[in-house]
Amino acid sequence: MNQADTDSMPAHRITTVAALEELYGPALPRSLLKEIDYISEHYRAFIEKAPFAVIATIGPEGLDCSPRGDPQGFVRVRDPKTVLVPDRRGNNRLDSLRNLVRDPRISLLFLIPGINETLRINGRAQIVSDPALCQSFSMQGKAPKTVIVVTTDQVYYQCPKALVRSRLWSPDSQIPQSELPSKGEMIAALSPQPYDAAEHDRNYPAHMKKTIY
């Protein structure tokens, strides 16, 4: 983007909902029909096949978007208004959980490899540390410390256009890892002290296997 582009931006900035709707036009009726406030049997089938979800939260410091993944069905549908998400071992930044403690609003986006539709849930969450509930989500003999209990307000599927345009599931869309900086290289570039990127990258696969749960 050059200077001329940025200079013209304020004149074309959309600042009202009315202006936005005038530009885009009305929503398609079927895009509104698919939104419900509970988990239907069809939507439940999608959630139970999904091995991956993205969680969005908000808190005093701002927004957070975090990936979650496990074998398909790792998000448990307890009833038509409730889903349960185990909080697996991570790096203890706790960005999502810190947000939810102070603001219960949450959004989840479910993806299934090879399927171009996605499913969205918007709702409110509680963080629960009940031992029996956490134990019921054990993997490799290890239970999560907490479970995120989500009460649904909106549930709907997303049309496939974004995944089709991106060709997300196409094998020829994949790139070799060598085209990107490694995890160790990124840490070394940000570290104020000397950091052995090559050693980090050599050791990380074993570390991940040991700490995956």
Look at the block and give the residue holding tokens 């200077």.
3
Averaged over successive runs of 10 residues, the pLDDT of the chain (213 residues) comes to 65 92 90 93 98 97 95 97 96 95 98 98 98 97 97 96 97 95 96 96 94 93
Q: For position 81, what pLDDT does the model report?
A: 98
Q: Is residue 65 part of a domain?
A: yes
Same domain for 121 and 197, yes or no, is no
Q: Is residue 19 part of a domain?
A: no
Q: Is residue 191 part of a domain?
A: yes
Q: Is residue 7 part of a domain?
A: no
Domain count, the chain: 2
Q: Is residue 8 part of a domain?
A: no
Same domain for 83 and 148, yes or no, is yes
In the numeric block, which tokens belong to residue 83?
């889903």
Same domain for 143 and 107, yes or no, is yes
In the numeric block, which tokens belong to residue 17?
């909902």
Q: For position 153, what pLDDT does the model report?
A: 98
Q: For position 2, what pLDDT does the model report?
A: 65
Same domain for 186 and 101, yes or no, is no
Q: Is residue 108 part of a domain?
A: yes
Same domain for 100 and 148, yes or no, is yes
Q: Is residue 18 part of a domain?
A: no
Same domain for 186 and 136, yes or no, is no
- pTM for the model stands at 0.91
Q: For residue 88, what is the domain's CATH number?
A: 2.30.110.10
Q: For position 6, what pLDDT does the model report?
A: 60
Q: For position 206, what pLDDT does the model report?
A: 96
Q: Is residue 13 part of a domain?
A: no
Whether 183 contacts 201, CB under 8 Å: yes
Helix (H) or strand (E) run with residue 19 in it: helix 17-24
How far is the C-alpha of 166 from the C-alpha of 173, rounded, in Å? Answer: 8
Same domain for 117 and 199, yes or no, is no
Give the 3-state DSSP-derived string for 95-151, with helices as H, strands as E and coil as C.
HHHHHHHHCCEEEEEEECCCCCCEEEEEEEEEEECCHHHHHCCCECCECCCEEEEEE
Same domain for 69 and 147, yes or no, is yes
Residue 87: other Cβ atoms inside 10 A? 22
Same domain for 48 and 127, yes or no, is yes
In the numeric block, which tokens belong to residue 105?
């609003």
Give the structural domain span for 184: 175-211
Same domain for 52 and 153, yes or no, is yes
Look at the block and give the residue holding tokens 């019921």.
136
Q: Using alpha carbons, list the distances in angstroms from residue 134 to 72, 104, 118, 138, 210.
A: 18, 20, 27, 7, 20
Same domain for 131 and 193, yes or no, is no
Same domain for 150 and 190, yes or no, is no
